[in-house]
Structure 1
Amino acid sequence: MMAGNGGGEAPVGGGPVRHIPVLLSEVLDALSLEGGEQVVDGTFGAGGYSSAFLARGANVLGIDRDPAAIAGAADLVARFAPRLTLVEGRFGDLDALVARAIRGPVDAVVLDIGVSSMQIDEAARGFSFQKDGPLDMRMSGKGPSAADVVNQLKVSDLARVIGILGEERHAGRIARAIDARRSEQSFETTLDLASLVGRVVGRAPKDRIDPATRTFQALRIFVNDELGELARALVAAEHVLRPGGRLAVVTFHSLEDRIVKRFFRDRAETAEGSRHLPAAHVLPAVFESDQKATAASPRESAENPRARSAKLRFGRRTEAAPRATPLSFFDMPSLAALPGSGA
């Protein structure tokens, strides 16, 4: 969902940008839409991808957990009815949402992972540290907020969240500084937290990335359970796609891309069946994928800074049956025991 549906590491603190779907031409090439297809846009955001799919003659089911995104697209729905249907929900549940809305296999699923530009640009949502606002970051508006995490999580757990999900090498120092400050006064606003992190980390003269970027990224991912949602969405997409159906996923940092890469690599290979089945039993490949990621062109990266870290991975569904996949398969960071995630 970056700068179109989404955002990335560097842009979280950025100012307003116009709505630009990242890697749009590459996504359209991957899907090869000819008109009449049923496409699921699992991360609708401001509708950038969906608008392009509709322009190609597709029918679109758009999913977004943010009620503001659904409400803000009323004019688009009216314009393209009945070819555009929007539902509020998590893309990790897209198989159940598709079953209720479409009741049949689909031709394509697109996921653009992250936070939307309109969420970043709205100070009241608490995603940006360039604008002061409540320290919230909940995409759905439900559940514990980033302020709850910062003010209540044990210092050791807070360091794990920032270090693992933000890939921040100063995580321990940041967590201890937060703990010292919150014992006197709780954190309530984005600039309050960003200012403290900036003092702890510092900033090199030539560093274009704000020192608070990784901490804010970590909190956002944790609060919204973004990695778990991504893993569930990949498995759900495998179940709803028809043979020949296409799955395109745009990610914006290494943790997301690692999950998608692992999924496509596993699904593009044959696999041994259950140990309870005959030894000769082999599970066929579920997706055809060349295992290569597509990055934004230099021109797109120059025009849209939020595209700089974007990667597109794509696969085409085979006729093989979906595989049973526990979430442990994705080898995600071990944060499940920590309270407070998954708004």
Structure 2
Amino acid sequence: MADLRPDRLTALRAHLAEVDAVLITAPYQLRAFCGAEVSAGTLALTPQGSFLLLDPRYHDAVTAPAQVDIKPYANGPQRLQTLRWVLGGARRIGVYAQALTLAEMDALSPGDELCFVPIDGVLDRLTSLLTHSEIASLQRAETVTRRALEAAFAALRAGVSEREIRQVLLGVIERDSEGPAFAPIVAFGVRTALPHAHPSVATLQPGDLVTMDAGAVVDGLHADLTETRIFGAAPGQDPQAQALLSVVRCALDAARRATRAGATAEEIDESARAPIREAGFDKQTLRGIGHALGYQTHQPPILREHAQDRVQVGQVLALEPGVYLPGVGGVRLEEMVVVGETSAMPIAEWQSAAHPSSAARGAQ
């Protein structure tokens, strides 16, 4: 994937007209912008060049794009010294405010000589626009996740605990990917009404709703899928659960139909909310039905009420409407779709050869 990362760096460098330099410190952004799979580091962009400051223990494990100069440092004081040298006379520094700590700002600018300018929107937009190879990696992550979900549903039996099923999910994900994108959710029965239930010792009974939410990571890209099914009930045996599944399926289908380049996050959210509202469950759903995916599980745009961000070609969205009835149970269904000019395609059906690269074009 490194062959396409310079496009993202080039697009980011265009914003140096607004600031003197840019500092990137979030590990997932380091991977997105220069392929550095590290837990700590700093990418500095200045008019003079692009510099990646790394602990020397990472040096041999990182292959950065040719335009990025790697600067190893031996310790914390040397890192600050190198970073100040790289920044030179820069005063207005573009940063990701959610990642740069107050302690880091104080260390870089003890006399308040630097002005840190949040450019979160720019960085979020650039990391949400994925290249061909990144979407292909995310597609593989989705495949692993779906395989893990199917293995977990196949392992269901009366008396099994949520924690035991979590281990089945994690076993497949750990074996076939870089690891889990987040802690999996497994919920049985009335606990499915908890949107983010932590797996417990609760055991499965015939007729229970079962919700599982999991994601695998491939090449740094995070998948996210949710499935809800009824365990051990004959068709028509639980009409309330069947009705909930039908409503949420309608909401998911409506959200997919509404997803296309230029659609606002609010429009997609409302498309899913309409059938839920019509069924009388508007107060039993979350105020948001999805988000973009990439080097983090939850990336802007967030699909929720009043959000005016427009989705773009090159983004992959997780659409996840749900209905949650306390004391009864809940249903959430989630799928990953690739945004196209006039429609959205389930990522499982996406073919990279049919889609142009989007990171550089969409970042302008």
- Common fold by TM > 0.5: no
Larger radius of gyration: 2
Structure with the larger strand share: 2
Higher relative contact order (CA 8 A, sep 6+): 1
